[in-house]
Amino acid sequence: MNYKFNSSVASLQPSAIREILKMTSKPGIISFSAGNPSADAFPSSEIADIASDILRSDPIAALQYSITEGYPPLIEYLKEYMKGKNALSEDDSVVVTSGAQQVMALASKALCDSGDTVVCEDPSFIGSLNSFRAHGGRLRGVDMQPDGMNMETLEDILKSDKRVKFIYTIPNFQNPTGITMSYEKRRRIYELACKYDVIILEDNPYGDIRFEGEDIPPIKSLDTEGRVIYAGSFSKVVSPGMRVGFGVANKELMAKMVVCKQVEDVHTNILSQMIIHRYVTEYDFAGHLSRIREIYRHKAGLMMELADKYLCPDITYNKVQGGLFIWATLPDDVDMTDFCLKLVKNSVAVVPGNAFSVEDNAPSQSFRMNYSTESDENITKGMEIIGETFKACRKL
Amino acid sequence: MNYKFNSSVASLQPSAIREILKMTSKPGIISFSAGNPSADAFPSSEIADIASDILRSDPIAALQYSITEGYPPLIEYLKEYMKGKNALSEDDSVVVTSGAQQVMALASKALCDSGDTVVCEDPSFIGSLNSFRAHGGRLRGVDMQPDGMNMETLEDILKSDKRVKFIYTIPNFQNPTGITMSYEKRRRIYELACKYDVIILEDNPYGDIRFEGEDIPPIKSLDTEGRVIYAGSFSKVVSPGMRVGFGVANKELMAKMVVCKQVEDVHTNILSQMIIHRYVTEYDFAGHLSRIREIYRHKAGLMMELADKYLCPDITYNKVQGGLFIWATLPDDVDMTDFCLKLVKNSVAVVPGNAFSVEDNAPSQSFRMNYSTESDENITKGMEIIGETFKACRKL
Interface of B with A in 223-252 (CB under 8 A): 225-227, 235, 239-243, 250, 252
Instruction: Say whether A98 and B99 touch across the interface (CB within 8 A).
Output: no
pLDDT at A24: 65
- Residue closest to B350 by CA, chosen among B325, B331, B332, B321: B325
Half-sphere exposure at residue B136, Cβ-oriented, CA atoms within 13 angstroms? 25
Nearest Cα of chain B lies from the Cα of A396 at a distance, in angstroms, of 38
Residue A11's pLDDT band, with cuts at 50, 70 and 90, is: confident
Q: What is the pLDDT of residue A15?
A: 62
Q: DSSP 3-state assignment of A39? A: helix
**A contacts of B13 (beta carbons < 8 Å):** 259
Task: Give me the mean pLDDT over the B131-144 stretch.
Answer: 96
A258 contacts on B by Cβ (under 8 Å): 14
Contact A386, A350 (CB under 8 A): yes
CA distance B142 to B127: 17
- Mean per-residue pLDDT over chain A, rounded: 94
Chain B nearest C-alpha distance from A231 (Å): 13
pLDDT for the residue numbered B374: 94
Q: What are the backbone dihedrals phi and psi of residue A69, each rounded to the nearest 5 degrees, phi first?
A: -65, -25
Whether A378 has its CB under 8 Å from any CB of chain B: the answer is no
Average pLDDT over residues A158-175: 98
Classify strands A199-203 and A228-233 as parallel, antiparallel or unpaired: parallel
- Counted residue by residue, chain B has a size of 396
A 303-362 → B contacts, CB under 8 A: none
Could you list the beta-strand ranges (E) of chain A: 30-31, 92-97, 117-122, 138-145, 148-149, 164-169, 199-203, 228-233, 245-250, 316-317, 325-329, 348-349, 351-352, 366-370
What sign results for the dihedral spanned by CA atoms A283, A289, A292, A298?
A: negative
Distance in angstroms (rounded) separating the CA atoms of residues A112 and A266:
21
Minimal Cα–Cα distance from A323 to chain B, Å? Answer: 17
pTM above 0.90, yes or no: yes
- Domains of chain B as residue ranges with CATH: 7-43+286-395 (3.90.1150.10), 44-282 (3.40.640.10)
Q: Which pLDDT score, from 0 to 100, does residue A384 have?
A: 98
Q: Report chain B residues whose CB lies below 8 A from the CB of A263.
A: 12, 101, 104-105, 127, 130-131, 133-134
| Cβ within 8 Å, pair B65-A225 | no
Average pLDDT on A164-188 reads 98
Helices B44-57 and A44-57 cross at an angle (nearest 10°) of 170
What's the first-to-final CA gap in chain B, in angstroms? 49
The rounded distance, in Å, linking the Cα atoms of A231 and A224 is 17
Contact between chains at A64 and B260 (C-beta distance less than 8 A): no
DSSP letter assigned to residue B224: S
Q: Look at B44 and A59 and tell me if their CB atoms are within 8 Å.
A: yes
Interchain contact, B262 vs A14, CB within 8 Å: yes
**How do beta strands A138-145 and A148-149 pair?**
antiparallel
Residue (of A289, A324, A273, A318) closest to A64 by Cα position:
A273
Give the pLDDT score at A34. 85
Task: Assess A265–B contact: CB distance below 8 Å, yes or no.
Answer: yes
Residues of B in contact with A68 (CB under 8 A): 18
The dihedrals phi and psi of A249, each to the nearest 5 degrees, come to -160, 170
How does pLDDT run across A348-386, given as a tens digit for each residue?
999 999 889 998 778 899 999 999 999 999 999 999 999
Residues of chain B contacting A111 with CB distance shorter than 8 Å:
3-6
Specify the length of chain A in residues: 396
Contacts of A44 in chain B (CB under 8 A): 55, 59-60, 63
B64 in contact with A at a CB cutoff of 8 Å? yes
Q: What's the gap in Å between the CA of A64 and the closest CA on chain B?
A: 5
* Residue B10 pLDDT greater than 90, yes or no: no
Among the partner-chain residues B241, B256, B263, the one whose CB lies closest to the CB of A271 is B241
Q: How far is CA A227 from CA A193, B102, B306, in A?
A: 8, 29, 55
Average of per-residue pLDDT across A105-114: 95
The model's pLDDT over A276-333, given as tens digits with 9 standing for 90+, comes to 999 999 999 999 999 999 999 999 999 999 999 999 999 999 999 999 999 999 999 9
pLDDT score recorded for residue B172: 98
A window 101-160, beta carbon within 8 A of B? 101-102, 104-105, 109-114, 127, 130-131, 133-135
Inter-chain contact B48–A55, Cβ cutoff 8 Å? Answer: yes
Cβ pair B48:A59 closer than 8 A: yes
Contact at CB, B51 and A56, closer than 8 angstroms: no
pLDDT(B15) > 80: no
- Tell me if A271 and B242 make a contact (CB, 8 A cut-off): yes
d(C-alpha B380, C-alpha B293), whole Å: 20
Q: What is the mean pLDDT of residues B121-148?
A: 96
Q: Which residues of B touch A57 (CB under 8 A)?
A: none
- Helix spans in chain B (H): 7-10, 16-23, 44-57, 59-63, 72-84, 101-111, 126-134, 151-160, 183-195, 251-265, 270-282, 285-310, 336-345, 376-395
Closest chain B C-alpha to A234 CA, distance in angstroms? 11
Task: Sort out which chain A residues have CB atoms less than 8 A from B51's CB and list them.
Answer: 51-52, 55, 271
| ipTM attached to this prediction | 0.94
> Are the beta carbons of B129 and B120 closer than 8 angstroms?
yes
- Is the pLDDT at A86 greater than 90? The verdict is yes
- Asked if B113 and A7 come within 8 Å (Cβ–Cβ), the reply is yes
Distances (CA, A) of A395 to A381, A387, B116, B224: 21, 13, 57, 56
Task: Give A138's DSSP letter.
Answer: E
Selected residue with higher pLDDT from B37 and A165: A165
User: Greatest CA separation found in chain B?
Assistant: 66
Provide the pLDDT confidence category of residue B282 given band limits of 50, 70 and 90.
very high
Nearest to B271 among A241, A263, A268 (CB): A241
For residue B111, the model assigns a pLDDT of 96
State the average pLDDT over residues B79-95: 97
Give the three-class secondary structure for B31.
strand
To the nearest whole angstrom, how far is the Cα of B138 from the nearest Cα of chain A?
A: 14
* A71: closest CA of chain B, how far (Å): 11
Query: Is residue A377 within a helix (H) or strand (E), and if so which, with residue range?
Result: helix A376-395
B288: contact with A, CB 8 A cutoff:
no
Q: Which of A7, A15, A197 sits opposite B1 (nearest CB)?
A: A197
pLDDT at A110 over 90: yes
Three-state DSSP state, A92: strand
Cα B110 from Cα B260, distance rounded (Å): 7
Interface A-B, measured as beta-carbon pairs within 8 A, has a size of: 261
**Chain A: closest CA distance from residue B277 (Å):** 16
Q: Report the pLDDT value the prediction gives residue B124, as an integer from 0 to 100.
A: 97
Using N-to-C axis directions, what is the helix angle for B251-265 and A101-111, rounded to 10°? 100
